[in-house]
């Protein structure tokens, strides 16, 4: 499994390249990242080989994510889409940018 090249930045001289393991019931291949899949019993792990600098960036991103939970306020559009496995409400403007010439289905309770 251990690779000599960082899958994120291509660094080849870092003797401290490590494996990042992510266990998730979501199909992480949808992200289009070069994960290697490893099964352990019923659990599937997604693995990336990264250098020390990229590992530090990843840890910083996880910290930022954790410390900034999403605001649960509705924008009132009633337009819901799936993003990375979560259902989120987007504005009409976001919909128009992402789906030009299409009308959204709306859910307004």
Residue pLDDT, tens place only, 30-77: 889 999 999 888 888 999 999 999 999 999 999 999 999 987 788 889
Kindly state whether residues 54 and 87 are assigned to the same domain: no
DSSP H/E element including 98: helix 92-98
Q: What mean pLDDT, rounded, does the chain reach?
A: 89
Q: What is the pLDDT of residue 33?
A: 92
Q: What is the pLDDT of residue 2?
A: 60
Tokens linked to 82: 């799936």
Kindly state whether residues 24 and 62 are assigned to the same domain: yes
Kindly state whether residues 23 and 60 are assigned to the same domain: yes
Identify whether the C-beta of residue 47 lies closer than 8 Å to the C-beta of residue 40.
no
Q: Which of 59, 57, 52, 46 is nearest to 1 (CA)?
A: 46
Kindly state whether residues 63 and 75 are assigned to the same domain: no
Kindly state whether residues 40 and 60 are assigned to the same domain: yes
Q: Which of 2, 52, 47 is nearest to 23 (CA)?
A: 47
Q: What is the pLDDT of residue 85?
A: 80
Tell me if 13 is assigned to some domain: no
Kindly state whether residues 74 and 63 are assigned to the same domain: no
- The whole-model pTM stands at 0.66
Q: How many domains does one find in the chain?
A: 2
- The residue range of the domain holding 48 is 18-67
Q: What is the pLDDT of residue 15?
A: 83
Kindly state whether residues 62 and 88 are assigned to the same domain: no
- The residue-averaged pLDDT of 8-22 equals 88
Q: Who's near 85: CB < 8 A, 6+ residues apart?
A: 26, 30
Tell me if 108 is assigned to some domain: no
Kindly state whether residues 61 and 95 are assigned to the same domain: no
């Amino acid at each position: 499994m251990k690779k000599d090249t960082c899958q994120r930045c291509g660094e080849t001289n870092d003797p401290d390249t490590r494996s990042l393991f992510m266990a998730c019931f979501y199909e992480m291949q949808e992200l289009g990242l070069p994960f290697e899949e490893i099964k352990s019993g019923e659990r599937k792990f997604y693995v990336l080989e990264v250098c020390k600098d990229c590992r530090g960036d990843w840890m910083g991103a996880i910290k930022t994510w954790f410390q900034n939970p999403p605001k649960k306020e509705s924008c009132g559009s009633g337009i819901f889409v799936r993003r990375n496995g979560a259902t989120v409400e987007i504005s009409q403007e976001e919909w128009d940018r992402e789906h030009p010439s299409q009308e959204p289905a709306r859910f307004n309770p």
